[in-house]
Amino acid sequence: MNNALARSCLYLAVLLVCLSAAITATAADTSTLLPVDKAFAPKVSRDGPHTLSVSWQIADGYYLYRHAFAFALQDAGDARLGPPTIPEGNRHTDEYFGPVETYRHTVHIRIPVQGDLPSTARLAVSYQGCADAGLCYPPQEKTRPIPDDVSATATANAGPPENARDITQTARTAARLASRAGGETTTTQPSNADTTTTLAERLANAPHVATLGLFLLLGLGLAFTPCILPMIPIVAGLIGSRDVSRARAFALALAYVIAMAVAYAVFGVVAGYFGANIQAALQRPLVLLPFAGLFLLLAGASFGWFDFQMPGALRARLSGPETTNSRSLAGAAGLGFAAALIAGPCVAPPLAGALLYISTSGNILLGGLALFCLGLGMGLPLIALAVFGASVLPRTGAWMAEIRVFFGVLLLATGFYLGLRLAPAAVALAAWGGLALVYGAYLSTRPVSRTSLLVSRRVAVALLGGYVALAMAGLAIGNGRPTAPLAGLASTSDPTGAAASKSPFERVTTQAGLKRALARARETNRAAMVDVYADWCVECVRMKHTVFARPAVRTALTDIVAIEFDITDYTADQRQALRAMSIFGPPTLVFYRADGDTNPDARVTGTIDAETLLGRLGGLDNTARTP
Amino acid sequence: MRRATAYLIALLALAGLIAGLAWFARIASQPPAAPSFSLTDRAGHPHRLADYHGDILIMNFWAPWCAPCRREMPMLNRFARRHAAHGVRVLGIAVETTPNDVARALADAPVDYPIIARGGAALQPRYAATERASRVVPLTVIVGRSGRIQSQLIGELTERRLRRALAPISGDSGAE
Task: Give the CATH number of the domain where residue B107 resides.
Answer: 3.40.30.10
Q: What distance in Å separates the CA atoms of residue A370 and residue A209, rounded to the nearest whole number?
A: 10
Residue A580 at interface with chain B, using a CB cutoff of 8 Å: yes
The DSSP code sequence of A562-576 is EEEEE-SS--HHHHH
Q: Which residue of B has its CA nearest to A254?
A: B13
Within a 13 Å sphere around the CA of A331, how many CA atoms are in the beta-carbon half? 25
Is there a single domain that holds both residue A120 and residue A242? no
Is there a single domain that holds both residue A299 and residue A382? yes
Do A596 and B119 count as a contact with CB atoms less than 8 A apart? yes
Within a domain: A202: no
CATH code for position A48: 2.60.40.1250
Is there a single domain that holds both residue A49 and residue A146? yes
Which residues are registered as beta bridge partners of A566?
A: A533
Do B7 and A360 count as a contact with CB atoms less than 8 A apart? no
Q: How far is B104 from chain A (nearest CA, A)?
A: 11
Is there a single domain that holds both residue B17 and residue B56? no
Q: What distance in Å separates the CA atoms of residue A478 and residue A430, rounded to the nearest whole number?
A: 11
**Average of per-residue pLDDT values in chain A:** 70
Residue B137 at interface with chain A, using a CB cutoff of 8 Å: yes
Q: Which residue in the set A12, A273, A600 is minimally distant from B125, CB to CB?
A: A600
Partners of B65 on chain A (C-beta within 8 Å) are 68, 128, 136, 139, 627
Within a domain: A413: no
pLDDT digits (tens, 9 = 90+) for A158-191: 333 333 333 333 333 333 333 333 333 222 233 3
Element (H, E) at A605: strand A603-605
Going by C-alpha positions, the residue among A599, A588, A590 that lies closest to residue A623 is A599
Lowest pLDDT segment from A365-379, A453-467, A482-496, B156-170: A482-496
Is there a single domain that holds both residue A142 and residue A53? yes
Most confident of A435-439, A551-555, A613-617: A435-439
Is there a single domain that holds both residue B20 and residue B67? no
Percentage above 70 pLDDT, chain A: 61
Q: Which residue in the set B8, B130, B155 is minimally distant from A204, CB to CB?
A: B130
Domain boundary among A391, A412, A443: A391
Q: Residue ranges of the alpha helices (H) in A77-127?
A: none
pLDDT band at residue B12, thresholds of 50, 70 and 90?
A: low
Count how many residues are written for chain B: 176
pLDDT at A520: 85
Within a domain: B86: yes
Is there a single domain that holds both residue B24 and residue B79? no
Do A96 and B97 count as a contact with CB atoms less than 8 A apart? no
- Distance from CA of residue A553 to its chain's centroid? 21
Instruction: Report the residue of B131, B152, B161 to disrupt the A interface, i.e. the one with the largest count of A CBs within 10 Å.
Output: B131
pLDDT band at residue A394, thresholds of 50, 70 and 90?
A: very low
Q: What distance in Å separates the CA atoms of residue A360 and residue A254, rounded to the nearest whole number?
A: 32
Is there a single domain that holds both residue B79 and residue B165? yes
Within a domain: B91: yes
Is there a single domain that holds both residue B56 and residue B135? yes
Q: How many domains does chain A have?
A: 3
Instruction: Report the residue of B39, B66, B101 to disrupt the A interface, i.e. the one with the largest count of A CBs within 10 Å.
Output: B66
Domain boundary among A347, A368, A391: A391
Say how many CB pairs under 8 Å bridge A and B.
171
Is there a single domain that holds both residue B78 and residue B165? yes
Within a domain: B176: no
Do B138 and A137 count as a contact with CB atoms less than 8 A apart? no
Q: Which residue of A has its CA nearest to B2?
A: A1
Mean pLDDT of A547-558: 83
Is there a single domain that holds both residue A213 and residue A145? no
Element (H, E) at A51: strand A51-58
Strands A90-94 and A62-65: unpaired
pLDDT at B72: 93
Q: Residue ranges of the alpha helices (H) in chain B?
A: 2-29, 67-83, 99-108, 123-127, 159-170
With a cut of 60, say whether residue A101 has pLDDT above it. yes
Is there a single domain that holds both residue B150 and residue B133? yes
Q: What distance in Å separates the CA atoms of residue A565 and residue A277, rounded to the nearest whole number?
A: 15
The DSSP code sequence of A341-389 is HHTGGGGHHHHHHHHHHHHHH--HHHHHHHHHHHHHHHHHHHHHHHHHH
With a cut of 60, say whether residue A390 has pLDDT above it. no
Query: Could you check whether the bond before residue B64 is cis, i.e. omega within 30 degrees of 0?
Result: no
Structural contact between residues B67 and B145, judged by C-beta atoms closer than 8 angstroms: no
pLDDT at A596: 66
Q: Which residue of B has its CA nearest to A100?
A: B67
Is there a single domain that holds both residue A243 and residue A145? no
Element (H, E) at A178: helix A164-183
Strands A90-94 and A80-81: unpaired
Do B155 and A135 count as a contact with CB atoms less than 8 A apart? yes
Do A582 and B9 count as a contact with CB atoms less than 8 A apart? no
Is there a single domain that holds both residue B57 and residue B134? yes
Tell me the three state secondary structure of residue B111: coil
Domain boundary among A361, A391, A421: A391
Which residues are registered as beta bridge partners of B89?
A: B57
With a cut of 80, say whether residue A548 has pLDDT above it. yes
- Interfacial B residues in 111-130 facing A (CB < 8 Å): 118-119, 121-122, 125-126, 129-130
Q: How many domains does chain B have?
A: 2
With a cut of 90, say whether residue A64 has pLDDT above it. yes
Residue A192 at interface with chain B, using a CB cutoff of 8 Å: no
Tell me the three state secondary structure of residue A187: coil
Is there a single domain that holds both residue B121 and residue B49? yes
Q: What distance in Å separates the CA atoms of residue A224 and residue A228, rounded to the nearest whole number?
A: 6
Within a domain: A15: no
Q: How far is B38 from chain A (nearest CA, A)?
A: 10
Instruction: Report the residue of B9, B40, B73, B104 to disrupt the A interface, i.e. the one with the largest count of A CBs within 10 Å.
Output: B9
Is there a single domain that holds both residue A351 and residue A221? yes
Is there a single domain that holds both residue B102 and residue B123? yes
Most confident of A130-144, A500-514, A568-582: A130-144
Is there a single domain that holds both residue A145 and residue A225? no
Partners of B95 on chain A (C-beta within 8 Å) are 138
Within a domain: B175: no
More confident residue, A323 or A242: A242
Mean pLDDT of A153-159: 33
Is there a single domain that holds both residue B144 and residue B67? yes
Within a domain: B56: yes
Is there a single domain that holds both residue A249 and residue A104? no
Q: What distance in Å separates the CA atoms of residue A132 and residue A136, rounded to the nearest whole number?
A: 9
Is there a single domain that holds both residue A367 and residue A221? yes
Going by C-alpha positions, the residue among A79, A99, A97, A98 that lies closest to residue A89 is A99
Is there a single domain that holds both residue A268 and residue A348? yes
- Interfacial B residues in 12-41 facing A (CB < 8 Å): 12-14, 16-17, 20-21, 23-25, 27-28, 31-32, 35-36
Within a domain: A482: no
Residue A79 has phi, psi (to 5 degrees) of: -65, 145
Residue A64 at interface with chain B, using a CB cutoff of 8 Å: no
Is there a single domain that holds both residue B102 and residue B79? yes
Domain residue limits at A521: 498-623
CATH code for position A590: 3.40.30.10
Within a domain: A187: no
Kindly provide the ipTM of the predicted complex, given to two decimals: 0.76
Is there a single domain that holds both residue A131 and residue A262? no
Structural contact between residues A35 and B132, judged by C-beta atoms closer than 8 angstroms: yes
Domain residue limits at B26: 1-30
